[in-house]
Amino acid sequence: MNRKIVAGLVVFLAVFLAGGAYVVISMESGSSRLDELIKLHQVENLREHYLVQIKRVQSDLALRNTRYSRTFDTVVADVVNMGRGVETCFQCHHSAAGESRLRELKDETEQYEEALSRVLTLRANESRLAAEEDNAFRRGEALMGKVRDMIAMTSARLGEKTHRSLEKIRNVKYVLYALFGISPLIAAGMAFAFLRGFGGSVKALRDATEKVKDGDLDQRVAGLRGEFGELAASFNQMADSLKDQMRTIRRTEQMVTLAELAAGLAHEIRNPIAGIKAAMKDLSREARLSEEDRNVVLQVLEEIAWLEALMRNFMNFAKPQRSAYAELNVNNMLDATLAFCLKHKGYGAAGWENVRIVKEYSPLPATAADPVQLQQVFLNLFLNAIDAMPAGGVLGIRTSVDESAKAIRVEISDTGRGTDDGASGSVSRPSAAASPNGTGLALTVSKLLIEKQGGTIGAVRIPDGGTVFTLRFPVRPPEQRAAS
């Protein structure tokens, strides 16, 4: 848009300057032509005046020795004025040819003056006087003829130049009229184009903003270009982000509600469970109890243990415990958790008999993490994998280091039936349980715990069967424990 504004301004300025320059040049040219015409008129007037002076001197000569003759001083003054007349012509600028013609004129004027001087000063017989007077008169007539020719030439040039100048001035006038007519149209057109470009884009953005404000988070802006296009892209990103955040907020609200419900339920159930558990333990130690009944009691105790674990998960989900970081090696933590599971095979409904464990550990750097929470996460994922493989399968455990991201990557895979929704990354809802016996809460708790440690967890369903959970959490140097 900036480019458009600048381009528009440049075009407008160029048009304005071009128009202004044309007007200035036209005025300059017109005034020059008028000036030239005025000068030509002046030249014509000077020559006319000069002709009148010559005529006056000729009449002085003709009236000489008559009763109408003018005084000697008057005649001298007339001749002097005539001489000044031709001198005046030299004050103007002339072409070389014009200068040459003027010099000829001046020479002839001087010859005429000499002849007149001769007539005025000569004292001789009548024939000599008459001859000198005739000579002077002839020179005067010749001079007048020459001046008349020059006047005719000047008049012709003046007429021609006047015609040409008027024609040019008329053309300039038409162009100026056109400019005066077209300029407002151009300005209005440019203003309309700008308003349309700006106004349309602003209106689209304003409408979209209004709709988002009214709750339509699916509103997007399309079809804009340039800076407005960039603004629309930012707006769309903002709307996407807003929509995600709204979804998260809603889910969080649901989770909080659920957690409060779960915590309340766990609190209410835990005490009776504790009483039942104590009673069952006492009963199991009863000597009179038959073996069959004892097994039943022990089975009840196992179920109670499962209920207690379930209660703990609820409690953790509702109110996760504060992290306590310690230096550890993730490979060791995996082994310790796996050993715990194998030792207490009661964890996991399906049992571990038909499960083959495949470990692919890469050397991992020591990192600072909460060992209890990390063990809880691994335990949840192991149990989830075992539950997903009731008929047995392969539990894969792979670790690696992502050097570029400075993160530890742990993949725990099974060859079971996969997560319920089969979508990757669906470990955030309690319902995403892999096991038909589980509540799915373990995965959600695992996600909360791993995120508390700055990590992520995702799940990918394998098309041939099974699921791969991928954990990624940052490598924290041990010295960061305190800070963490």
Residues of this chain that interact with other proteins (CB under 8 A) are 72-73, 76, 79-80, 83, 113-114, 116-118, 120-125, 128
DSSP secondary structure, 53-71, as one string: HHHHHHHHHHHTTSTTPPP
Q: What tokens does 285 get?
A: 């130690």
Asked if residue 394 lies in contact with residue 468, where contact means CB atoms within 8 angstroms, the answer is no
Distance CA 209, CA 44 (A): 80
- Output 116 or 443, the one with its CB closest to other proteins: 116
Q: What tokens does 79 get?
A: 């001749």
- Output 121 or 271, the one with its CB closest to other proteins: 121
Query: DSSP label at 361?
Result: P
Query: How near is the Cβ of 128 to other proteins at its closest, in Å?
Result: 6
- Output 108 or 451, the one with its CB closest to other proteins: 108
Write out the H or E segment, with its range, that includes residue 98: helix 96-121
Query: How near is the Cβ of 79 to other proteins at its closest, in Å?
Result: 6
Three-state DSSP state, 287: coil
**Count of all residues that appear for the chain in the document:** 484
Which residues share a beta bridge with 360?
398
Closest CA to 460 of 425, 415, 429: 425
Closest CA to 82 of 109, 48, 107: 109
Distance CA 347, CA 354 (A): 15
Query: How near is the Cβ of 129 to other proteins at its closest, in Å?
Result: 9
Closest CA to 147 of 45, 47, 42, 39: 47
- Output 56 or 472, the one with its CB closest to other proteins: 56
- Output 39 or 84, the one with its CB closest to other proteins: 84
What are the distances in angstroms from CA 72 to CA 38, 109, 156?
A: 37, 19, 38
Distance CA 174, CA 167 (A): 11
Query: How near is the Cβ of 26 to other proteins at its closest, in Å?
Result: 47
- Output 72 or 180, the one with its CB closest to other proteins: 72
- Output 33 or 139, the one with its CB closest to other proteins: 139
Query: DSSP label at 347?
Result: S
What are the distances in angstroms from CA 406 to CA 324, 329, 364?
A: 21, 15, 11
Which residues share a beta bridge with 326?
369
Tokens 């010859």 -> residue = 111
Three-state DSSP state, 125: coil
Query: How near is the Cβ of 151 to other proteins at its closest, in Å?
Result: 24
- Output 22 or 137, the one with its CB closest to other proteins: 137
Q: What tokens does 12 get?
A: 């407008």
- Output 114 or 244, the one with its CB closest to other proteins: 114
- Output 89 or 116, the one with its CB closest to other proteins: 116
Tokens 């000489």 -> residue = 64
Query: How near is the Cβ of 118 to other proteins at its closest, in Å?
Result: 6
Query: How near is the Cβ of 113 to other proteins at its closest, in Å?
Result: 5
Query: How near is the Cβ of 15 to other proteins at its closest, in Å?
Result: 60
Query: How near is the Cβ of 117 to other proteins at its closest, in Å?
Result: 4
- Output 83 or 465, the one with its CB closest to other proteins: 83
Query: How near is the Cβ of 71 to other proteins at its closest, in Å?
Result: 11
Query: How near is the Cβ of 30 to other proteins at its closest, in Å?
Result: 42
Tokens 């100048």 -> residue = 165
